[in-house]
Amino acid sequence: MTILSALQLTKYYGAQDVFSDLEFSVARGDKIGLVGPNGVGKTTLLRIILGLEEPSAGSVQRARGVRLGYLPQISVFPSDQTLYAEMLGVFSDLNQQHEVLLSLADEMASAPDPAELMERYALLEHRFELAGGYEYENRIRRVLSGLGFAADMDDWPVAMLSGGQVTRALLAKLLLQDPDLLILDEPTNYLDLQALEWFEAYLQEWAGTILVVSHD
């Protein structure tokens, strides 16, 4: 199934032609590497795909409802939360479900006849489990650890992270969001060898579509 396609895509700035008449399609599950030297228009193409910039001619079509995730080369992460709180926010629906389950458990403990509450609890817990409710905190720790964040950094304010740490934090959040199309512009710039090896292994297991840009 095609989730994105481009028809006669052209971009120029004044008299400078960046690219012209590009045509391509991206299918669900594709793993694509876009490789080329600096200055040939890779980032410009990504911005057009994402709708952040308009082409000079041609068009980009996206499948209805497709979720895009984007890691730019220069990352900005405005936040007044801690690193872990930002990651936890990805799973806000599951957090809410968990609160409901805790509330029901309290009600059952004091109810004279908890049969109806127990039935409701069992149904909601089953949905919670199917949605990954008992796994998401382990997922957060796995991704943060893989990208070089130790557990004692969970409470660090995002505003205090260095530039490279900000990029890795945004990458972690993108991986946890699990978009349909993950677009990464030079994602390895701030990864050491250990984090790079982890990241490569993680992407090999990625079920969605990936478009990775590199000059190397």
Predicted confidence (pLDDT) per residue in 48-63, tens digit: 999 999 999 999 999 9
Segment among 82-91, 111-120, 145-154, 204-213 with least mean pLDDT:
111-120
Confidence of residue 132 (pLDDT cuts 50, 70, 90): confident
> For the stretch 139-155, what's the b/e string if a residue is b when 16 or more beta carbons lie within 10 angstroms of its beta carbon?
bbebbbebbbbeeebbe
Which one has a higher pLDDT value, 144 or 40?
A: 144
Instruction: Give the model's pLDDT for residue 67.
Output: 94
Query: What pLDDT, in 10s, does the model give residues 174-197?
Result: 999 999 999 999 998 888 999 999
- The pair of structure tokens assigned to 80 is 């007044």
Structure tokens at 65: 């409802």
Of 216, 147, 146, whose CA–CA distance to 185 is shortest? 216
Q: What is the pTM of this model?
A: 0.85
* Contact (CB, 8 A) for 190 and 23: no
Q: Residue 16: is its pLDDT beyond 90? A: no
The helix/strand/coil state of 33 is: strand
| Cβ atoms of residues 209 and 31 within 8 Å | yes
Q: Calculate mean pLDDT across residues 144-165.
A: 94
What one-character DSSP code corresponds to residue 158? G
User: What percentage of the chain has pLDDT greater than the value 90?
Assistant: 62
Alpha-carbon separation of residue 78 from 45, 159, 170 (angstroms):
25, 7, 11
216 — pLDDT class (breaks 50, 70, 90): low
The yes-or-no verdict on residue 215 having pLDDT over 80 is no
More confident residue, 84 or 110: 84
Does 88 score more than 90 pLDDT?
Answer: yes
Cα–Cα distance measured from residue 147 to residue 25, given in angstroms and rounded to the nearest whole number: 31
